[in-house]
C-alpha cells in the first residue's frame, strides 16, 4: 500500500530563486588581444569622425559659412593702400585641406590609442602581479 500524497500548501507558493554566484579574479590581460581590440575600436572611431567632419563641412559649406569667413578675413586684412597681407583664406577652408587634416589627426589617434591601450594592459599585468588583480563577482539571474 502506498502512503497518501501530501496536500499542497494552501497559499500561493513562490518559486525559490537561488542565484548562483561566481567569484573570479582578472589576474592577467593579454596585451596582444588588447592591441587588436583597441586598434579596431579606434579605427571605427576614426571612420565615425571622418564621416562626421565631412557632413559638418558639407552643411557649413552649403550654408555659406566658409564664404562669409573668407570675406571677413579678406576685408580685415585689406590694407587699403595696396598694403595687403599675403593671406589666402580660400585655401584654409578647402575640402581637401579640412579632410586631409582630419585624416592626419585620425591616423595619429589610431596609433596613439592602440599604443596607450597596449601599454595600459602591460601596466595592469605588472600591477596585478603585485596586488593580485581585480575581483569580479558574477551572479546568475533568471
Residue found under cell 589576474? 27
Q: Dump strand ranges (E) for 15-133.
A: 21-26
pTM greater than 0.85 (yes/no): no
Residue 35 in grid coordinates: 592591441
Residue 58 in grid coordinates: 558639407
From first to last of the 142 residues of the chain, give the pLDDT tens digit: 555 555 556 656 666 566 788 888 888 999 999 999 999 999 999 999 999 999 999 999 999 888 898 888 877 777 666 555 667 777 788 889 999 999 999 999 999 999 999 999 999 999 999 998 889 998 887 6
> Could you write out the DSSP letters of every residue in 55-96?
HHHHHHHHHTHHHHHHHHHHHHH--SSS------HHHHT-HH
Amino acid at each position: 500500500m502506498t502512503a497518501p500524497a501530501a496536500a499542497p500548501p494552501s497559499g500561493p507558493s513562490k518559486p525559490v530563486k537561488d542565484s548562483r554566484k561566481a567569484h573570479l579574479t582578472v589576474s592577467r590581460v593579454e596585451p596582444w588581444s588588447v592591441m587588436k581590440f583597441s586598434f579596431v575600436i579606434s579605427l571605427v572611431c576614426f571612420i565615425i569622425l571622418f564621416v562626421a567632419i565631412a557632413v559638418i563641412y558639407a552643411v557649413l559649406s552649403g550654408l555659406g559659412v566658409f564664404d562669409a569667413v573668407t570675406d571677413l578675413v579678406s576685408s580685415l586684412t585689406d590694407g587699403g593702400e595696396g598694403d595687403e597681407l599675403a593671406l589666402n583664406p580660400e585655401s584654409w577652408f578647402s575640402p581637401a585641406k579640412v579632410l586631409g587634416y582630419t585624416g592626419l589627426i585620425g591616423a595619429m589617434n589610431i596609433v596613439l590609442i592602440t599604443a596607450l591601450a597596449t601599454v595600459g594592459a602591460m601596466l595592469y599585468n605588472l600591477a596585478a602581479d603585485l596586488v593580485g588583480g581585480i575581483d569580479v563577482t558574477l551572479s546568475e539571474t533568471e
